């Protein structure tokens, strides 16, 4: 049984759905207010409505590239059905966003399994302030709740606060934390964490890393060194490089994603703080543009408010 099977077993659909709906309230309110204004006084979907809709999507942080794809698809539907009216626009928009996401990133987390790696190693990257440590803590909680043995590696040794936060999460969740003194070599912390996880027979290792978005070469070298050292213990580690992005930063999240994907082999995304922003459109744009699975979304402050991302559920919730 893959680790994901344990994780999935614990998900409570009604509670998760309620948290998702609540977490997307601000995005939904802003989005539909803008759409209502875009179609005001219009009965059919004409060029002006499409221009207004384009502006709605761009200002909702869906991103220019993804917006143009969506508008082109709607234009094609309008040209086939000359009598398309504005009351149908929400349904069409929902469908086209779902189709686009399904085509661009069909490897949904619902079908993803951690496989037979033991321990399964997750290296977490992202700038300071995006909710990286909180995401690590909440993910550790989810996995431990599912009966897995989890260990955290405090490899962001540049900030004393980062190490202390990881230790606090370890205590709160009840998982072991491997840490060294502030200023220690991050790769050394990662090495010790993996070595002890193998010795203890633990299931999942989550490694925190420094959140400074310094120059790309420096970032690449630092993350590369951590990977090389980990591979001395487990040859194909890390199995997952999880980039954490803050939805409330809007277009800045796109830039961070660009920087980190150029610096290292990011193969999973977590998008946090959706409950505190009207910029939830970034999930759609980033999913489409970077072709990297969004695996987790943060929809609230409670310890259980880190969710597995499901594109269909997300879009349906947005359009409820």
Helix (H, G, I), strand (E, B) or coil at 242: strand
The annotation status of 132 as a binding-site residue, yes or no, is: yes
The annotation status of 208 as a binding-site residue, yes or no, is: yes
The annotation status of 212 as a binding-site residue, yes or no, is: yes
The angle subtended at Cα 15 by Cα 272 and Cα 168, nearest 5°, is 50
Matching residue, tokens 């897995």: 148
The annotation status of 218 as a binding-site residue, yes or no, is: no
The annotation status of 127 as a binding-site residue, yes or no, is: yes
The annotation status of 210 as a binding-site residue, yes or no, is: yes
The annotation status of 129 as a binding-site residue, yes or no, is: yes
The annotation status of 170 as a binding-site residue, yes or no, is: no
The annotation status of 283 as a binding-site residue, yes or no, is: no
The annotation status of 276 as a binding-site residue, yes or no, is: no
The annotation status of 89 as a binding-site residue, yes or no, is: no
For residue 242, give every residue at least 6 positions away whose Cβ sits within 8 Å of its Cβ, in sequence order, or none. 122, 123, 124, 125, 135, 266, 268, 269, 270, 295, 296
The annotation status of 131 as a binding-site residue, yes or no, is: yes
Q: Which is nearest to 262 in space by CA: 209, 212, 207, 218?
A: 218
Q: Tell me the two tokens of residue 291.
A: 């072709």
The annotation status of 36 as a binding-site residue, yes or no, is: no
The annotation status of 128 as a binding-site residue, yes or no, is: yes
How many Cα atoms are found within 13 Å in the side-chain-facing hemisphere of 254?
A: 19
The annotation status of 209 as a binding-site residue, yes or no, is: yes
Q: For the chain, how big is the Rg over CA atoms in Å?
A: 21
Residues at the binding site are 126-133, 208-212, 272-275
Residues at the binding site for GTP are 126-133, 208-212, 272-275
């Amino acid at each position: 049984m893959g680790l994901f099977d344990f994780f999935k077993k614990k998900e409570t659909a009604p509670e998760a759905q309620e948290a998702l709906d609540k977490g997307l309230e601000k995005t939904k309110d802003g989005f539909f207010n803008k759409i209502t204004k875009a179609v005001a006084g219009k009965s059919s979907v004409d060029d002006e409505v499409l221009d207004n809709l384009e502006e709605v999507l761009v200002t909702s942080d869906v991103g220019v590239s993804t917006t143009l794809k969506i508008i082109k698809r709607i234009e094609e539907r309008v040209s086939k059905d000359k009598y398309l009216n504005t009351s149908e626009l929400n349904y069409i928009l929902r469908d086209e966003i779902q189709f686009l996401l399904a085509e661009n990133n069909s490897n949904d987390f619902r079908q993803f399994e951690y496989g037979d790696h033991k321990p399964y190693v997750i290296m977490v990257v992202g700038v300071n302030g995006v909710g990286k440590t909180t995401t690590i803590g909440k993910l550790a909680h989810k996995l431990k709740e599912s009966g897995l043995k989890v260990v955290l590696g405090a490899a962001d040794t540049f900030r004393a606060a980062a190490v202390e936060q990881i230790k606090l999460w370890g205590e709160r969740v009840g998982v072991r934390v491997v840490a060294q003194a502030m200023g220690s070599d991050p790769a050394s912390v990662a090495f010790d964490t993996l070595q002890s996880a193998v010795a203890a027979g633990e299931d999942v290792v989550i490694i925190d890393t420094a959140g400074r978005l310094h120059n790309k070469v420096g970032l690449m070298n630092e993350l590369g060194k951590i990977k090389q050292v980990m591979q001395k213990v487990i040859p194909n580690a890390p199995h997952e490089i999880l980039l954490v992005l803050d939805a409330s930063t809007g277009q800045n999240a796109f830039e961070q994603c660009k920087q980190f994907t150029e610096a290292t082999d990011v193969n999973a995304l977590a998008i946090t703080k959706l409950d505190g922003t009207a910029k939830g459109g970034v999930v759609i744009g980033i999913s489409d543009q970077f072709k990297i699975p969004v695996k987790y979304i943060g929809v609230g402050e409670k310890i259980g408010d880190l969710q597995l991302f499901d594109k269909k559920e997300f879009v349906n919730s947005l359009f409820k």
